[in-house]
Structure 1
């Protein structure tokens, strides 16, 4: 009799560490989304959280190609009339460097409850100091 294998959502929880210093934003964001969804795993299931956590360090030194540093605009709205705020990449990187990585990865994850759950497993820090050394994160090199 054939048996169907069902993966437990947290059967293989793993922590990964990515150093963003001098790396391109898009290349890092696609790799992070790929790992958070669990597509690198042979037991990939689209509707399950595979339990991967990612720590990104040095987000303040991330690069973008071309003139995006001055031309890319991030929008946010306060919810009040006339509350639209605009910021360039450079201004946002000086103010909140983690927000850049979080926004780009959020747009690459599934929309809905699963995407929100996966985004909570992304931890970003502007320098190389992070509180997750006890989890022994596996270092990933991204070109």
Structure 2
């Protein structure tokens, strides 16, 4: 019997650094989600964590096309009556620029325990300063 099971303890952690300056939100998010899942790896298995960590810098300078800058809405609810809070892209990007990228990538990951684990491996920073220099991240440019 030929089994393709790979132990996660043996896989090394890889760290990648991505600059989000002047990049489109959707295109960047899809490529990040594909990288986090490990789909580009030859030993890809859908149910195993790929141990890939991604650092995104300059998230406040991300682009969005068309009129979505003014029309896109982010909704959250506190669970109380009348607790719906609606915010546009521009106000959320000014207030918390990391949430825009995190919200986009989280929607593209699996909706299960593995997806939550992969989301914790994503680090987003609004400027070009990050505390992960000791991990020696490899800088990549996504097409």
Range into which the TM-score falls when normalised by the shorter chain: over 0.9
Aligned-residue RMSD, C-alpha? 1.0
What is the CA–CA distance in structure 1 between the aligned matches of 2:113 and 2:85, rounded to whole Å? 27
What is the CA–CA distance in structure 2 between the aligned matches of 1:9 and 1:45, rounded to whole Å? 11
Q: How many angstroms does 1:3 deviate by? A: 4.5
TM-score norm. by structure 2 comes to 0.96
Matched, 1:45 2:45: yes
SS of equivalent residue, structure 1 residue 4: coil
TM-score norm. by structure 1 comes to 0.96
Q: How many angstroms does 1:5 deviate by? A: 3.7
| 1:98 alignment counterpart | 98
**Structure 1 unaligned residues grouped into runs of 5+:** none
CA deviation string 1:11-59 (max 9, x = no partner): 1310000000000000110011001000010000000101000000000
| 2:77 alignment counterpart | 77
What is the CA–CA distance in structure 2 between the aligned matches of 1:128 and 1:17, rounded to whole Å? 10
What is the CA–CA distance in structure 2 between the aligned matches of 1:8 and 1:49, rounded to whole Å? 10
- The runs of 4+ residues in structure 1 deviating greater than 4 Å are none
**Structure 2 unaligned residues grouped into runs of 5+:** none
User: How many residues are matched?
Assistant: 142
More displaced 10-residue stretch of structure 1: 5-14 or 37-46:
5-14
SS of equivalent residue, structure 2 residue 56: strand
SS of equivalent residue, structure 2 residue 111: coil
| 1:141 alignment counterpart | 141
| 1:33 alignment counterpart | 33
What is the CA–CA distance in structure 2 between the aligned matches of 1:5 and 1:78, rounded to whole Å? 44
